[in-house]
């Protein structure tokens, strides 16, 4: 009897706490719904969209896991890019955000953030981080502008550009690279990149005009179709020169029916491949 009474007393003491309302605290992680803009989410009950960093998968409830390469990206931006004069804050954030290690061959992941290009197969490369940042900055992109990339390759440059605009188009002539980059961009959540397999020399007339065009391989002359597909005020950033010879990076701005050309300096790119 004595033990029964003690048990009843203990339960009585606990009942108020068990029945009382739970104390106020941080709300549970809300269910989020992806919008048309890559990486932006609408949260139920909140008027403000929430942006989830691009290294996290696009899921209904993002799982925040540590990024082991975050410090490597920060170091890359600080020492290879910002220190050399790239100053556009949006470009620097994009370079720090996109997981470059995802775009290199698996046996070269440990070199992903080093200061040089890497082979990606089929005679193609992923460009040096600094050159990617420079060419991106030279486009002077606004978030609403439409961009065309010639030479998807690994998909890395497309991903960087997709951090800056919600209208990104990319063409790759090598079928295996076109398929691989499309699958990777989808897996990383870059829904705002539209890509296809094709001969980039001819541009993409269906979606023209473009506010900016970037060419990540070097023709021996500026393709006329790309000039024609520039919007008035549009910018074309393109390396031009013979394979294995001296190449120059040109910034071409359309002004009505005329074009203003600026030579940025010497570069080295793989040649622009043409269709059969």
Q: List residues with catalytic annotation.
A: 127
State the Rg of the chain over Cα: 25
Q: Is the Cβ–Cβ distance between 39 and 59 less than 8 Å?
A: no
Burial class of residue 11 (count of CB atoms within 10 Å of its CB; 0-12, 13-18, 19+): exposed
Q: Tokens 């005009």, residue?
A: 209
Burial class of residue 70 (count of CB atoms within 10 Å of its CB; 0-12, 13-18, 19+): middle
Q: Which of 155, 231, 229, 141 is nearest to 193 (CA)?
A: 155
Q: How many CA atoms lie within 13 A of 139 on its CB side?
A: 33
Stated as kind and residue range, the H or E segment containing 171 is strand 167-172
Copy the structure tokens of residue 221.
Answer: 């002359």
Q: What string of DSSP letters covers 233-264?
A: EEEEEEEES-TTS-EEEEEEEEETTEEEEEEE
Burial class of residue 97 (count of CB atoms within 10 Å of its CB; 0-12, 13-18, 19+): middle
Name the pairing type of β-strands 32-34 and 40-43: antiparallel
């Amino acid at each position: 009897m004595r033990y029964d009474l003690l048990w009843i007393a203990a339960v009585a003491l606990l009942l108020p706490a068990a029945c009382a309302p739970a104390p106020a605290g941080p709300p549970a992680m809300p269910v989020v719904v992806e919008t048309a803009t890559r990486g932006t989410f609408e949260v139920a009950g909140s008027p403000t969209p929430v942006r989830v960093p691009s290294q996290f998968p696009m899921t209904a409830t993002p799982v925040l896991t540590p990024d082991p390469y975050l410090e490597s990206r920060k170091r890359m931006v600080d020492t290879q890019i910002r220190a050399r004069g790239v100053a556009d804050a949006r470009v620097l954030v994009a370079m720090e955000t996109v997981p470059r290690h995802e775009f290199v061959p698996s046996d070269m992941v440990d070199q992903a953030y080093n200061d040089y290009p890497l082979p990606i197969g089929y005679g193609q490369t992923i460009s040096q981080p600094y050159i990617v940042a420079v060419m991106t900055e030279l486009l002077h992109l606004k978030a609403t502008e439409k961009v065309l990339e010639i030479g998807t390759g690994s998909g890395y440059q497309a991903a960087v550009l997709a951090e800056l605009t919600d209208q990104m188009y990319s063409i790759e002539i090598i079928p295996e690279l076109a398929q691989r980059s499309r699958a990777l961009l989808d897996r990383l959540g870059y829904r705002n990149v539209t890509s296809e397999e094709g001969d980039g020399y001819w541009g993409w007339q269906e979606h023209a005009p473009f506010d900016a065009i970037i060419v990540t391989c070097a023709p021996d002359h500026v393709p006329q179709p790309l000039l024609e597909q520039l919007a008035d005020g549009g910018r074309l950033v393109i390396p031009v020169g013979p394979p294995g010879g001296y190449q120059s990076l040109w910034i071409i701005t359309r002004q009505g029916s005329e074009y203003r050309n600026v030579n940025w300096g010497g570069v080295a790119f793989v040649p622009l491949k043409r269709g059969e």
